[in-house]
Amino acid sequence: MGTRRQRIKYMQTSEKTPSIFNPNSTSQLIPKQPSQHLLPTKVNTMETDVANQNDSLELLYHVKRVIIDFAQDKSGATQTTDIFGTFTDLAAAKAAARSALPSEGYLKDDFVEYEANDGTKEWKHGDGVIVFAKAAAGQEFVVRLDTTPNAPHFKGNASGEVEGHLHYVLQTTIYYNNDSIGGIQTTEVEGTYPTRKAAREAAKNTLLNEDVTKEWFAEYEEKGSERDEWPYGDNVLIHAVAETGENFNISVKAQPHSHQHHERKHHEKKPDLPQNEE
């Protein structure tokens, strides 16, 4: 199997995590459409707006928060993605998305720009995006909903939320074929699981099916294999490179907090404070 070392852009930390935005676009929030020649795998993500009340038990709505760290990396390639919760009720998911940043300890005054989509006015930040905020230092915060089929048949509680400490299989696609610096990325929820063990097992086959084997890729690496160092981040289990240059990272991440006791794990300081302050 041939290699494409010149195409690989190694992730230095887990914070070079995928997101869904094209930092080169004028809105900063409209993703570049994936190439048509990407993997012929099944697509789990669906447009949020097609859901209705009759579908509520058949769909899962995931509250996803993405931070694009333009303050430290002007390319937009340094991104952090977390899933804050999963719901069977769309209205409950939207409400949770609107409160996601406050749940991390942020206030509207922490941002030079803060917009929430209440459906009453024109929205410029893309379908599925509920909150967009920008810190004075340059970081952009985006909270959106991802929608997937409810394959595990999760049941929501009285508030429409799936309870328990969930674990997510995430697929990050970095379009180096369109942007050599890695700023064009997408991250999608590929599966939701009640245990980390189940999520890790599922992650092994996320890129593979009866039509796509490991040999389909220019490179395909699994964490814990022969490589002494793993530069793609602690949460990434699979790294692959397509012949056309796209990089794929398959990661497993748990919900970063409970709604009752959230800790700002990724940010020891608010985004617009000096480095030595909390």
pLDDT tens-digit profile, the chain (278 residues): 443 333 333 333 334 433 333 333 333 333 333 433 445 444 444 444 444 444 557 999 999 999 999 988 899 899 999 999 999 999 999 999 999 999 999 999 999 999 999 888 899 998 899 999 999 999 999 999 999 999 999 999 999 999 999 999 999 999 999 888 888 898 999 999 999 999 999 999 999 999 999 999 999 999 986 666 899 999 999 999 999 999 999 999 999 864 433 334 444 445 443 333 33
Question: Where do we find the tokens 């447009």?
Answer: 47
Q: Read off the DSSP letter of residue 46.
A: B
Would residue 93 count as lying in a domain? Answer: yes
What confidence score (pLDDT) does residue 39 get? 52
Would residue 267 count as lying in a domain? Answer: no
C-alpha dist (Å) from residue 217 to 2, 19, 207:
9, 22, 10
pTM higher than 0.75 for the full model? no
Contact 180, 80 (CB under 8 A): no
Would residue 118 count as lying in a domain? Answer: yes
Would residue 276 count as lying in a domain? Answer: no
Q: Which helix (H) or strand (E) holds 103?
A: helix 100-103
What confidence score (pLDDT) does residue 120 get? 86
Would residue 219 count as lying in a domain? Answer: yes
Task: Please tell me the number of Cα atoms within 13 Å of 84 on its side-chain side.
Answer: 30
Would residue 269 count as lying in a domain? Answer: no
- The number of domains in the chain is 1
C-alpha dist (Å) from residue 241 to 7, 10, 46, 112, 115:
8, 11, 25, 38, 36
Domain interval for residue 124: 5-254
What confidence score (pLDDT) does residue 225 get? 62
Would residue 259 count as lying in a domain? Answer: no
What residues contact residue 229 under an 8 Å CB cut-off, 6+ apart? none
Would residue 268 count as lying in a domain? Answer: no
